[in-house]
Amino acid sequence: MRVTRADSGSEYDPRSFIAAPVVAALNGIVVRALIGLSVVAASASAPLILRLDLSFHTAFHFFLPVAWVIYAALTAAILILRPPPREADVWGRATEVDSSLVRFARRVSALMMVGWLASVAVVLVHHHLTSPREIFVTVGIIIPLTVASWLLAVLAWSGWCRASLARAEQDAADRLRRYWTGVAHPREGL
């Protein structure tokens, strides 16, 4: 007696099965980028909308740069502890799976990164630079440190995106091998 595979019917699409990990990784990038943009926009606008006392308001301005450094450190630690597979061009390979989703994920990621920087710019513009000391501290210290922390976060984000896509592409390659192994050597039923 031969048992047919459940995935051998006409509704089974091997391309979708093989591409599913890459599509899921791209969707994850889009969702995380939208969440990242929303959280940063909300935290940057909170001091402008809410009436905060001056000491808390001043401390809140350092929240985003510190959060970016923590994000970069945690992402680096995760990538060190769980290194991704080595892939030369993860975005190019993902484009082969779904070029429109790749374009959308890259655009949303760019929007998030620019939005992060714009959120900090809104916070910095909100400052009332009345004395030469405040201008010197803001322009000479706060802005360079903020841009450096933003750059760390952007590099961490890019590294995480590449790692996520590399893992998904490896999973897709494994699925492709299993699929062709199953086609070449179908299992006999009971």
Return the residue matching tokens 């890459």. 22
**Does residue 80 fall inside a structural domain?**
yes
* Any domain includes 187: no
Q: What is the pLDDT of residues 87-103, one digit of tens each?
A: 778 999 899 999 999 99
Q: Is residue 131 part of a domain?
A: yes
State the amino acid at position 123 in one-letter form. V
Write out pLDDT tens, residues 32-42: 999 998 988 88
pLDDT digits (tens, 9 = 90+) for 16-31: 888 899 999 999 999 9
* Residue 186 maps to a domain: no
Total domains in the fold of the chain: 1
For the chain, the first-to-last Cα distance in angstroms comes to 6
Whole-structure pTM value: 0.79
Residue 189 lies in a domain: no
- The answer to whether residue 100 is domain-embedded is yes
101 lies in which domain range? Answer: 13-174
Mean pLDDT across the chain: 83
pLDDT in tens, 92-147: 989 999 999 999 999 999 999 998 888 877 777 666 667 788 788 888 888 888 89
CA gap 109, 103 in Å, rounded:
10
